[in-house]
Amino acid sequence: MTDPTTTPRDTGGGADPGPMPTSSTEADRPDPLRGSRTSGLWLGVVALGLVLILLIVFIAQNTQDVTVSYFGWEGQTPLAVALLVAATAGLLLAAIAATLRMWQVRRRVHRGRSARR
């Protein structure tokens, strides 16, 4: 049985959740503490700074020369450079594959929407 004096926000115990919004504009107003584009950008800048610091340490610790052979081409390069080039090439190939897959899915969705009309 429900008590006619309780409101939907009354949980029956604990701290008072505070006053309910009195108008729809108050309820529709975004939370001022929610993340924004600026806070997301700031987080990205901080993360990039940390990655760059780690990259500088990696390069400083891997300066010995290594011989790299690739389809008849052979040369000497610092180990850090060889590893960074290999990692960058891998990221590029993964990005190309992901981009092609996204285009494929978007095209399929677009064709599905066109067929329903």
Please give the model's pTM, rounded to 2 decimal places. Answer: 0.53
| Whole-number pLDDT of residue 19 | 60
Confidence of residue 14 (pLDDT cuts 50, 70, 90): low
pLDDT over threshold 90, residue 31: no
For residue 78, give its domain range. 37-116
Within a domain: residue 29?
no
Is residue 75, in this structure, part of any structural domain at all?
yes
Number of domains in the chain: 1
* Residue 6, in any domain of the structure: no
Query: Does the residue 57 lie in any domain?
Result: yes
Domain contains 9: no
18 falls within a domain: no
Q: Which of 116, 61, 53 is nearest to 83 (CA)?
A: 61
Question: pLDDT by residue (tens digit) across 39-61?
Answer: 888 888 999 999 989 988 998 89
Please check whether residue 111 lies inside any domain of the structure. yes
Confidence at residue 106, expressed as pLDDT on a 0 to 100 scale: 92
Q: Residue 9 above 60 pLDDT? A: no
Three-state secondary structure readout of the chain: CCCCCCCCCCCCCCCCCCCCCCCHHHHHCCCCCCCCHHHHHHHHHHHHHHHHHHHHHHHHHCCCEEEEEECCEEEEEEHHHHHHHHHHHHHHHHHHHHHHHHHHHHHHHHHHHHHHC
Residue 54 lies in a domain: yes
